[in-house]
Structure 1
Amino acid sequence: MRGSAVKLTKKWDKTFPKSKAVEHQKVTFKNRYGMTLVADVYVPKKRGTGKLPALAVSGAFGAVKEQSSGFYAQEMAERGFVALAFDPSYTGESGGEPRNIGSPDINTEDVMAAVDYLGLLDIVDRNRIGLLGVCGYGGLNLSAAAVDKRIKAVASSVMYDMSRVYGKGFQDSYTPEQRTKVLENLSLQRWKDAENGKPAYASNDVVFDEKGNVTRASRILPETLPANAHPIVAEFFDYYRTKRGFHPRSINSTGAWSITTPIAFMNFPQLTYIKEISPRPVLIITGEKAHSRYFAETAYQEAAQPKALVIVPNANHVDLYDKQSGKIPFDKITEFFNKNMK
């Protein structure tokens, strides 16, 4: 297989068990900016002689390929797809300095670079390549599919629109004055980073103190969960900070993004052209009780036909990250891609 990686982790260090029905290989490829991305390719052992459909799988935002995206990719490989789960630029095992930087442009490019790679594999039918994104990459995949016409179908699971949450706050809670305060804070942080010659890191979740000033925690998730933790923090903690989904290379498990990461997202509404995915189909999956549900419902409303919205009964956001809840609708995902990538 092209692009075999060297001097990278070779042991199985995923947060899910290895499937006996799937072959796995770690590979590298470059994006348009020359960044080296590291990925895991999952291929069904029983695949016949013909070329196979393929999926580029990514997410969540701040996660690594050893977590949700790898789990989804391996599951889809068991169902007959070549599936690639990758670490985005500046994160995990992929290249890029400084570390832990997010960008709607570069991260969308990473998705398209994964399509580049899959389309050059001898075992892949390049006319049957789709995208499958989890959480923040559910939104970024919709952005990629809008501009990259090679993509035949796109599915998102418990999607986040990172531009919206950074730019408007959770549930669009920022007032215009608060948005201005956030941007002022981030703008001044750039001078601090320039003076220090490196970025500072902290949680990108903004809290306004009693005087209306911007404050933030030093990392995405705490070392230990406070007794009075916000329910969303507790939900993410249950996955990223416990044996269930912890991974030492995951930003969400162990660290934080650069403080200035939100700037580009706040200036780049990533779903502006979502209607241009049509006439290629869109599948949007969310949980009935997911705190992110409003992102999915808005994306569904704004997308053009053909489109489908699946709301998983009694599921919260993190229930659709792994097999623990047994609620991920893999049969519907498989049916969607098989039908629309003939």
Structure 2
Amino acid sequence: MTKNIQTHDAVTKKDAVNLDRRGVLQMAGAGVAALGLAAIANTATATANAKALNMTREWDKVFPQSDKVDHEKVSFTNRYGITLVGDLYLPKDRAQGALPAIAVCGPFGAVKEQSSGLYAQTMAERGFVTLAFDPSYTGESGGEPRNVASPDINTEDFMAAVDYLGLHGSVDRERIGVIGICGWGGMALNAVAADKRVKAVVASTMYDMTRVMSKGYNDSVTLEQRTQALEQMSRQRWEDAANGAPDYGPPSLDLQGGEPQFVLEYHDYYRTPRGYHARAVNSGNAWTQTTPLSFMNMPILSYISEISPRPVLLIHGENAHSRYFSETAYEAAAEPKELLIVPGANHTDLYDKLDVIPFDRMVAFFGDALV
């Protein structure tokens, strides 16, 4: 067990996890027999969706392009038939043979041109094939309506990225890891608990979106407040159904004065040249009014202990308002696990500050796990 602030010793204890595969297949029943036809239909859907996407070809990231990696815009389809768009990064001086790979996504409300792309490019400089992608319904990825989130579909998005990497000619499919940032840290942990192909997971400056949406910050929401929120969103569904389209909330991070410090930190990233991107929900756009509805009663970290015996690395800033999410997740996770607290860092410092994000530790972590 490792819980450190400045020491970076890894934990290597592993416990076996037994699964009753026969029982899982029996539950699937007749649906298993339909997989062949579904695969054919899904391929046709993927082709149609890819043609409909408007993918940019110019470099429009909020960080400079590295001359140490090769970059390619790619698309792939998730299990729900939604076409996702990603940026694939490969080490320019890569050796012959298949390389370890990492799927990267987050933060919640961001796009791949922001933090996840920076993480992906940096890890590619260190020798990994990496894929930063836009979640369903956001950025350049497909899905209608726009700017809606789902704990189920967004967890599936990570698994679909693993599908893509595992079929790529430069990737060793037995050496795939995942990095989730902010709200996608929780999605990453949820995905890896279910997807046994993934060998290791990093959650950086992690949010559990189901917890914060249902219970508020520091679990401060009362039952009465929760009930009122559900009442409002339930009735909003009638409005949306009558209008034939969802209603959207106010523009994100429009400051009115008196906001908490962490909101100012978000604004400093998403609404300034530091991290602004026109396609990001958090850069002045908005989620649908009913987006929190599916998060309210679906806790995504219920099975975090089942990531074991694969290793988990949780990274958080010492001064982050969200630090308690990683601390709680660390307690619930099984060995091998590590909680790395970055001294002096706040939540958004781990979005883009290259001198703060512990890339050396992540490289060592995946280097040990993806062997």
When normalised by structure 1's length, the TM-score is 0.92
Q: 1:282 aligned to 2:312?
A: yes
Report if the CA contact (8 A) 2:54-2:140 is conserved. no
**Cα offset, 1:199, TM superposition:** 0.6
* Structure with bigger gyration radius: 2
**2:70 equivalent to 1:47:** no
**Which amino acid in 2 is paired with 1:127?**
E
Write the mapping of 1:249-264 to structure 2, written as runs, cut at 5 A: 249-264=279-294
Q: 2:256 & 2:155 partners in 1: Cα distance?
A: 35
In the other structure, the counterpart of 1:183 is: 230
Output the CA distance in 1 between the equivalents of 2:96 and 2:303: 38
Residue matched to 1:105: 152
1:266-303 Cα offsets, whole Å, 9 max, x none, are 12110010010000000000000011100000000000
Partner residue, 2:366? 337
1:144-293 → structure 2 map (5 Å cutoff): 144-202=191-249, 218-222=250-254, 225-293=255-323
Q: Map of 1:78-97 to 2, 5 A cutoff? A: 78-97=125-144
Q: What is the identity, as a one-letter code, of the residue corresponding to 2:237?
A: R
Post-superposition Cα deviations, 1:18-54, rounded to whole Å, max 9, x if no partner, equal 0000000000000001100000000000111021000
For 2:236 and 2:192, how far apart are their aligned partners in 1?
33
- Cα distance between partner residues in 2 of 1:30 and 1:227: 42
Aligned to 2:28: none
Residue 108 of structure 2, aligned match among 54, 61, 64: 61
Provide the residue aligned with 2:41 in structure 1: none
Per the TM alignment, residue 73 of structure 1 is displaced from its structure 2 partner at its CA by: 0.1
Gap runs ≥5 in structure 1:
203-217
> Partner of 2:87: helix, strand, or coil?
strand
Offset of 1:228 from its aligned partner? 2.7
Structure 2 SS opposite 1:316? coil
Name segments (4+ residues, structure 1) moved above 4 Å: 3-7
User: Per-residue displacement from partner, 1:135-179 (whole Å, max 9, x unpaired)?
Assistant: 000000000000000000000100000000000011101111111
Compare relative contact order (CA 8 Å, sep 6+) and give the higher one, 1 or 2.
2
Match of 2:20 in 1: none
**Change over 3 Å in CA distance of 1:253–1:7 after alignment to 2:** closer
SS in 2 for 1:138: helix
**Which residue type is aligned with residue 364 of structure 2?**
E
Q: Give the whole-Å Cα distance in 2 for the aligned partners of 1:163 and 1:226.
A: 27
- Which of 140, 144, 168 in structure 1 is aligned with 2:187? 140
1:83: how far off? 0.4
Deviation, structure 1 residue 233: 1.3
Q: Distance in 2 between matches of 1:277 and 1:34?
A: 26
Alignment pair present for 1:307 and 2:341: no
Percent sequence identity is 63
**Post-superposition offset of 1:8:** 1.4
Partner of 1:317: 347
In the superposition, the TM-score normalised over structure 2's length comes to 0.85
Separation (CA, whole Å) in 1 of partners of 2:157 and 2:70: 23
Secondary structure in structure 2 of the residue aligned to 1:252: coil
Cα displacement (A) at 1:227: 4.4
How many residue pairs get aligned? The number is 322
2:228 counterpart letter in structure 1: K
**Structure 1 residue 226, shift from structure 2 partner:** 4.1
User: Take 2:145 and 2:280, find their aligned partners in 1: how far apart are those partners?
Assistant: 15
Q: CA deviation at 1:7?
A: 4.4
Root-mean-square deviation (CA), in Å?
1.2
Superposed displacement of residue 219, structure 1: 2.3
Q: Flag the structure with higher helix content.
A: 2
